[in-house]
Amino acid sequence: MKKIIYLFVLGLFTACSNDPQPIDYGNDHCNFCEMTIVSQAYSAQAVSQKGKQYKYDAIECMVNDQLQHKYDMSVNLVANFEQPGTMVDVNKAGFVINDSIKSPMGGNLAAFKKESLVVNNEPEGTFSWEELLDHFLENDSLTTSYQ
C-alpha cells in the first residue's frame, strides 16, 4: 500500500512539473499558429505555473500568445540563433529584429545570448524581453496578424 501511495504522489509531482519538455521538431505544433515546428533557430517554449507545456515555431508566436492570453509562466525559453537547438531563458537573451532575419512567421526576430550581443556591440533593433513585449504591444498589427 505504501508503494502505491508513493507512486501516486510521485505521479502528481511529475504531472505538474515546470521542467520544459524537449520540442520534437517536425512533429510538434505551435500552440499559437498551429504550424509544425521545424526550425531550431527560431523556436520557443514556455511552461505555466501549473506545468502546462507551450511550444512555438517562432518567438513572435510565443510573444503574441502570452500577450493575448496573459499566461502566468514559470519558464520562458527561446532558441539561441547562434546555436540552433539550444534554448536560453528570455531574461538571459537579447532579441534582434532585423530584415536580414527570416523567422518563420515573418517577424524578422531572433534571440541571442546577451553576452554574444555585447561582444557584437548590440546591433540596432536589440531588445530585452520586457522591451520586446512592449514593442509588440505598441505595434498592434504584430499581435493580431498571425491568426
The grid cell for 116 is 554574444
The residue extents of the domains of the chain are 2-144
Residue 134's φ and ψ, nearest 5 degrees, are: -60, -40
Q: Give whole-number Cα distances, 93 to 28, 33, 43, 100, 125, in Å.
A: 24, 23, 14, 19, 14
pLDDT tens track for 28-49: 999 999 999 999 999 999 999 9
40-87 residue pLDDT tens? 999 999 999 999 999 999 999 999 999 999 888 999 999 999 999 999
Q: Name the grid cell of 17.
A: 512539473
**Which residue type, as a one-letter code, is found at position 99?**
D
Q: Give the pLDDT of residue 143.
A: 46
Q: Which amino acid is at 139?
A: N
Position 86 scores a pLDDT of 96
At 118 the pLDDT is 54
Residue 22 has pLDDT above 90, yes or no: yes
Q: Using CA atoms, how far apart are residues 18 and 15, in angstroms rounded to an integer?
A: 9
